[in-house]
C-alpha cells in the first residue's frame, strides 16, 4: 500500500491539501475520510469540492456535511462529487435506498465519504483512505493510503505536485 502524509496548521491548510488532491484526480474514485468528530473531514470535503471547480463561481459553492441527507451531489466541477456522510447510517441498506449502489456500480465521479466505517464492506478495495487526526486546536495530521493501483497513481501524482 502506498502512503503519503501532510500536516495542516489551519482549516485553510486542510482545504488546500484537499484542493491539491482534487487537482490530481483525473477519473472516478472513491475517497474515504476517517477521523473523530471535529477532525476536519468536512473542511477537507469543502477543499476537495472547491478544488474540482471549473470556475470561480463553482469554487465558492457552500459545502456542508450532509449528515441528515446522507448524500449531497456537487456537479459544478470537472467530475461530479458525491459527498456522503454515513454518521447516521443504520446499515448498507440505507445506501441502497438512496441509490448509492448505482453510483458505486457505474461511477461517473468521485465518491467522497465521511464515516466510511459505517459501511466498510460497501466500498471497492482500490479506494483512497484518508485519516485525519487532531493534534491541537488547529493542527491536524492527514495520512493518505492507496488501496490499489489507481489510487496509488493518484497519490503519486499528488506527492509529485506537492514536491514541485
Tell me the HSE value of 121 on the side-chain side, using a 13 A CA sphere: 3
Rounded-to-integer distance, Cα 137 and Cα 127, Å:
29
Q: How many domains does the chain have?
A: 1
Q: Where are the alpha helices (DSSP H) in the chain?
A: 11-24, 41-51, 92-97, 100-105, 149-163
Instruction: Give per-10-residue mean pLDDT for the chain (164 aa).
Output: 92 95 95 93 94 76 76 89 87 76 81 89 91 92 95 92 69
Give the pLDDT confidence score for residue 63 in this predicted structure.
84
Q: Which residue range forms the structural domain that includes residue 7? A: 3-163
Give the pLDDT confidence score for residue 143 in this predicted structure.
97
**CATH number of the domain enclosing 14:** 3.40.50.300
Amino acid at each position: 500500500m502506498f502512503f503519503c502524509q501532510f500536516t495542516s496548521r489551519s482549516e485553510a491548510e486542510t482545504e488546500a491539501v484537499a484542493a491539491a488532491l482534487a487537482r490530481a484526480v483525473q477519473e472516478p474514485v472513491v475517497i474515504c475520510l476517517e477521523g473523530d468528530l471535529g477532525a476536519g473531514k468536512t473542511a477537507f470535503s469543502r477543499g476537495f469540492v472547491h478544488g474540482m471547480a471549473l470556475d470561480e463561481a463553482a469554487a465558492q459553492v457552500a459545502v456542508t456535511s450532509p449528515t441528515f441527507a446522507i448524500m449531497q451531489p456537487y456537479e459544478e466541477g470537472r467530475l461530479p462529487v458525491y459527498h456522503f456522510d454515513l454518521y447516521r447510517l443504520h446499515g448498507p441498506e440505507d445506501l441502497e435506498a438512496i441509490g448509492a449502489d448505482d453510483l458505486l456500480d457505474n461511477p461517473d465521479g468521485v465518491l467522497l465519504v465521511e464515516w466510511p466505517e459505517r459501511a466498510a464492506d460497501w466500498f471497492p478495495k482500490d479506494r483512497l483512505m484518508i485519516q485525519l487526526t487532531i493534534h491541537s486546536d488547529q493542527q491536524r495530521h492527514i495520512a493518505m493510503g492507496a488501496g490499489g493501483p489507481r489510487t496509488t497513481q493518484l497519490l503519486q501524482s499528488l506527492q509529485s505536485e506537492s514536491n514541485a
